[in-house]
Structure 1
Amino acid sequence: MAWLSGKELQLNSAFLLTTLGDRMWAFVIGLFMHQLGGMTWVAVQQLVDSVLKLVVITIVGQYLDKIDRSKIIQRTLLLNNAAVAVSAGLFAYMFVHKTDHYATPVLLMASAVASIAKVASEIQRISFTKDWVVVISQSESVDLAKVNSILLCIDQISSAILPTLTGELLDTFKWQYVCGFIIVYNLASWVIESMILRRLYNETPQLKTRASEITGDEELRGLKGVKLNSITQYFKQQSWTAGFGLSLLYMTVLGFDNLAASYGQKHGLSASYIGVLRGFGSALGVIGTFSFQFVAKRFGLLWTVMIGLVWQNIFIEMCGVSVLLPGSSMDVSGYIANTSVSEWSKEVLSRVSNPEPQNVPSVSFYDVALPVNLFFIGISFARFGLWLADPAITQIQQETIPESQRYMAFTVQIALNEVFSILKDIIVIMFPFTPLFGVLTLGSCVFVFTGFMFNVFYHAQCGFSCVNKNMHLGRQPVCEMATLSSPEKQSLMGDEKEKPKVLDSPTFE
């Protein structure tokens, strides 16, 4: 028996093409924005991303469960790749012409188009990792944890390799040529991935139907066309506490995103060195993702979350310590003493309205300050814990959210993530100054710890057990409908006169 079935291979191949393009673009756009406008414009671009995702995905999410799966993924695939190509073309124009007069509108246009690509990419990822993966695992009778782990490994390996390779490209070739390569890749990958997904959809009958669309079940016929409020339904899910704790992790500048890269560039780190650091962090993420299925099998999903988040918090606190060490660029008292409120507001408005190219000379590895290296080491090692906990929380949600509400719930999850990401980006735009970045780091440590505590609370709700590995499923109702799982039946039918029996499970063992 092959380790991967044909359908799994097709799913993984399509996801690989998407991930390679997304990870390459996610890395370069941050460096592009910093080069053309500094950390302020890195935050502006991420803010535009988050606002658009928050508005669009939350609204669209409640309709995705009613749309043909093939249409969803084919249309978002086209939109994602086309928008990245257009945005890369705009950046290439700026690198070639180096105009200051139109810098702000062109940067805004490039950022807006890139954000459209990001929205489409997020919907694609929901389709791949929250819906299609569940259907394929069921149709092929394979362990969901195994399929989840493979997809996450693909994502993390891409994150490890692409920044390093792309950093070398940026240090070797002119940046407009790199933009051209990105355009060609996105157009080619769109054609290939579209064919793979169309074939997979046609070969998998289960992808063409949903449990809530089964016409043979009299109890479900009256439920069609019912519109549910996305946010209300999300907070009715038993696992919302775990998901909300995960969303708090987005209120951080310690995610090895473009803000961290911009911080490194401010201290003279080259594109290739930043790429190596990000690749190292992603490699640890790969190890965490690969370890997930084994840790989950040994200890269960709930304890896997705890192990991962404890590890993450240890190294995130290392980042907090780094900004307090001698040699750190943090100087809050000096900044406050030398800057009035009016001067601060003028400087913030100036950085937004008049982006200035950043030309900080690169320094060698040996000349990088210890606090800066310690900062990136902490972020890198924290990735292992994050990518051990993240898939565990995701699988808990997959197993407890009904199929008929899966798109709805996960789009609200993304919206919550973006709410905290928006808050973070607004704060960075208001305080983009290097002497104050340490304060943002310390605040990030607080939010990461709070996210951990939300998951501790969820674990306590489910019950602590060293024997029962499925405590998060301990109170699912017994269901006699052959076509639906217990959580699906419970959600669809709601409160009835004759309520189903409840399986009691011990709170402590």
Structure 2
Amino acid sequence: MTFQQPSPQNNRRTSGTLSRTSIFLYCAYISTCLEDRAWSFCVSLCMVLMGGMRVVSIEQLFEGVLQMILSGYLGKLFDGLSRKRAILTVVPLNNLSICAAAGLIITCLSIDATSPWYIMCLVLAMCMCAVNRLFLNAEKFITSRDWVMVLGDDRTLSNMNATLLTLDQFTNVIAPLFTGALVTWVGLRETVGIFGIASLVSMTSKSIFLRLIYISNPLLQVKKDKKEEITTDPFSNSRLNESVVKTYWRQASFSAAFGMALLFMTVMGFDGLAVGYGSSAGLPEFIIGAFRSFGSLTAILGAFSYAFFEKRYSVATSGLLGLVVQQFFAMMAVVSVFLPGSPMDLGGYFGNFTAGGWWHDMVHSFNGNNGTNFDPHVDWNHFSSDGVSLVSIFVFLIAIASARYGLWCLDLAITHIMQVTVPERERNTVFGMHNALCNTFSVLKDVLVIILPLPATFAICIFISYGFVTVGHMFFVYYLVKTNSIWTVGRRISQIEEKEQTEEYARL
């Protein structure tokens, strides 16, 4: 079986036009990724400082819930708009929400934690960060899922997808290091202000590049003729009014996409939780930032590997490679909780657990008394922090950083499958609903950490995360078996095409 290819009209471009517009697209996308990676790491540092891992989880919960509720409907709205109106909507809302959140966070860092204004500003800052995440992801999906299908073709799609991911991960290499250095140099509050101003510069640069892409490509200025779709699909009229959930569910790529969504129910990723867990173990922020950068480097290697194996073998081969690598390092992360220095103490925690004590800690999450110490005393000669071994946390961070190689191989494979099988008229709806589903599982992860916020119970979160990752892998394998794509694993494209030609001749 081969995947459906983009329509022939998408191939009617000269190589020069494709090269020029690709550069503009990459410039706009790297601006989006820079503001995303630097700002999200800065917000994680702020939330850890102001309230520890529970406040980090609550802030991520705000982001996840808003995307879970609105992402699919926002995608459906954009499917009904021109590409110009859609991008003109998301870019300003994305960047201006960063400015608003920056102002509120600076206020929180400037006033006493006992002030009634503190909690109000902190909650409003979380809300603005959630709005920013909603429209930032919408901007990424429009450019990297929809626009790229118009600017590329079946020969260049995998390379463009891999390049966009590489740019994203490259910014994730430099942004944490730059942010950590900036915080050390000028302070956390001043860094937040710098990023708020920088978001306005980013908005201007993106607008210029996106406008150059749009005016130079007529195919971006029109979508497929609806009358033509109705002629070829007698169910088009009824599908215009169906729910976003049903549109997502009836896609041929549903099982693979659902498997990818399950991977978001994990604490084994470099979000704010990993930052908080590393800080609780006594690691300085520049070490955590270095691990995060290493994770981005492995993701870039995964993107290049995906492009290499997809071109020479198949999408299924690339996806299964990523699955095996991610599964191995996920097991390594599970093993880390049993190594020296592990904070796991389930017996001690549940032996002293009371509902009243848990509720008291939950109610007082925002009062500033749960902040993480940012002045650890690390003894590198004995590889310990305040007398506690760093073996467990180092193995955990190495595992989740290395697993990103497999994660992004698998992510690109599933994204490729979705891009070439989802109709253009439903692309934003499906990817919007997919983002909503991913964030649904991400919200479940945040709820889990809110319930079990201490490093002593973080092992439970790791065990549950491993279960969801494994089930997600099983859904991807099921998709390959169901679509008969499993037989393409390890076989070169020339062999696959030769077999399909032989079968076609046999049918004739």
TM-score by length of 2: 0.88
Distance 1:221 1:119, change over 3 A: same
Matches within 5 A, 1:140-151: 143-151=156-164
Is 1:53 equivalent to 2:74 in the alignment?
A: no
Are 1:74 and 2:96 counterparts? no
CA shift, 1:216, in A, is 10
Q: How far 1:74 moved relative to its partner?
A: 1.9
Which of 120, 129, 133 pairs up with 2:148?
A: 133
1:321 aligns with one of 329, 335, 354: 335
Matched AA of 2:89: R
Answering whether residue 384 of structure 2 is matched by residue 367 of structure 1, we say yes
Q: Deviations over 1:242-292 (max 9, x none)?
A: 111101111011111100110111112222111111001111111111221
- The 1:350–1:407 alpha-carbon spacing in structure 2 relative to 1, beyond 3 Å, is same
Residue 353 of structure 1, CA deviation? 6.6
Query: Are the counterparts in 2 of residues 95 and 176 from structure 1 also a CA contact under 8 Å?
Result: yes
Asked if 1:198 is matched to 2:198, the reply is no
SS at match of 1:5: helix
C-alpha distance in structure 1 between counterparts of 2:455 and 2:242, whole Å: 45
Unaligned runs of 5+ in 1: 477-501
Q: Offset at 1:314? A: 0.5
Percent of matched pairs sharing the same residue:
31
Q: Distance in 2 between matches of 1:220 and 1:70?
A: 26
- Please tell me whether the aligned partners of residues 53 and 453 of structure 2 are also in contact (alpha carbons under 8 angstroms): yes
Range that drifts further, 460-469 or 234-243: 460-469
Structure 1 position 6 matched with structure 2 position 20: yes
Contact 1:40 1:352 in 2 (8 A): no
Aligned residue in 1 for 2:130: 115
Please say if residues 212 and 220 of structure 1, whose CA atoms lie closer than 8 Å, have aligned partners that are also in contact. Answer: no
1:2/1:243 CA distance change after superposition, 3 Å: same
- 1:113-151 per-residue CA deviation (whole Å, 9 max, x = no partner) reads 01101000011011011100010114xx85111111111
After superposition, the Cα gap between the structure-2 partners of 1:223 and 1:236, relative to the gap in structure 1 and judged at 3 Å, is closer
**Alpha-carbon distance between aligned partners in 2 of 1:233 and 1:505, rounded to the nearest angstrom:** 36
C-alpha deviation, 1:391, in angstroms? 0.7
Of residues 240, 264, 289, the one that matches 2:254 is: 240
Q: Is 1:188 matched up with 2:201?
A: yes
1:406 aligns to 2:423 (yes or no)? no
- TM-superposed deviation, 1:219: 5.0
Residue 258 (structure 1) aligns with: 272
1:268 aligned residue: 282
Match status 1:435 vs 2:452? no
Q: Is the 8 A contact 1:129 1:148 kept in 2?
A: yes
For 1:407 and 1:179, how far apart are their aligned partners in 2? 32
Distance 1:18 1:505, change over 3 A: farther
Q: Per-residue deviation at 1:394?
A: 0.1
In the TM superposition, what is the alpha-carbon distance from 1:409 to its structure 2 partner? Answer: 0.8
Partner of 2:176: 163
Contact 1:62 1:229 in 2 (8 A): no
The equivalent position to 2:416 in structure 1, one of 395, 398, 405, is: 395
Deviation at 1:327, TM superposition (A): 2.3
Match of residue 39 from structure 1: 53
Alpha-carbon distance in 2 for matches of 1:222, 1:388? 35
User: 2:344–2:455: 8 Å Cα contact kept in structure 1?
Assistant: yes
- The one-letter code of the counterpart of 2:409 is L
List aligned pairs for 1:375-394, cutoff 5 A: 375-394=396-415
CA contact (8 A) 2:106 2:192 kept: yes
Equivalent pair of 1:250/1:421 in contact (CA under 8 Å): yes
Aligned position for 1:444? 465
Query: What are the Cα deviations for residues 21-60 of structure 1, in whole angstroms up to 9, with x where unaligned?
Result: 0111111111110101111110000000011011111222
Amino acid in structure 1 at the alignment position of 2:443: I
Post-superposition Cα deviations, 1:392-442, rounded to whole Å, max 9, x if no partner, equal: 110011011111111111111111101101111111111101110111111
Counterpart-to-counterpart distance in 1, 2:269 and 2:343:
19
Contact 1:61 1:407 in 2 (8 A): yes
Cα separation, partners in 2 of 1:445 and 1:184, compared to 1, 3 Å: same
Structure 1's 219 and 377: CA in aligned 2 closer, same or farther, altered over 3 A? closer
Q: How far apart are residue 94 of structure 1 and its match?
A: 2.0
Q: How many residues align?
A: 477
- Aligned-partner residue type, residue 423 of structure 2: P
Distance apart, 1:177 and its partner CA: 1.2
Deviations 1:62-115 (A, max 9, x none): 221110111111221101110011111111222233442232211111010011
CA drift of 1:352 comes to: 5.3
- CA distance in 2: counterparts of 1:505 and 1:44, whole angstroms: 60
Amino acid at match of 1:454: F
What runs of 5+ residues in structure 2 fail to find an aligned partner?
1-14
Q: CA RMSD in A?
A: 2.7
Q: Distance in 1 between the 2:324 and 2:127 partners? A: 37
**1:186-224 CA distance string (max 9 Å, x none):** 001111211211121111111111224366985579946
Contact 2:82 2:223 (C-alpha < 8 Å) held by counterparts? no
Taking the aligned partners of 1:361 and 1:243, their CA distance within structure 2 comes to: 42
How is 1:473-492 mapped onto 2 (pairs within 5 angstroms)?
none
Task: Compare relative contact order (CA 8 Å, sep 6+) and give the higher one, 1 or 2.
Answer: 2
Change (3 A) 1:218 1:354: same
Q: What amino acid does structure 1 have at the position aligned with 2:481?
A: A
| Contact preservation (8 Å) 2:344, 2:458 | yes
Q: TM-score under structure 1 normalisation?
A: 0.88
**1: CA distance, partners of 2:504 / 2:250:** 19
Change (3 A) 1:289 1:255: same
Q: In terms of mean alpha carbon deviation, does 380-389 or 167-176 score higher? A: 167-176
Report how far residue 359 of structure 1 moved.
2.6
- Residues 39 and 217 (structure 1), Cα distance of their counterparts in 2 relative to 1, 3 Å cut: closer
Task: Tell me whether 171-180 or 257-266 shows the greater mean CA deviation.
Answer: 171-180
Stretch moving more, 149-158 or 319-328: 319-328
- Equivalents in 2 of 1:370, 1:416: separation in Å? 35
SS of alignment partner, residue 152 of structure 2: helix
| Equivalent position amino acid for 2:174 in 1 | I
The one-letter code matched in structure 2 to 1:446 is G
Residue identity matched to 2:58: V
Return the offset for 1:355. 5.8
* CA distance in 1: counterparts of 2:265 and 2:384, whole angstroms: 31
Aligned to 1:465: 487
The whole-number CA distance in structure 2 between the counterparts of 1:63 and 1:459 is: 32
Q: What code does the residue aligned with 2:83 have? A: R
Counterpart for residue 118 of structure 2: 103
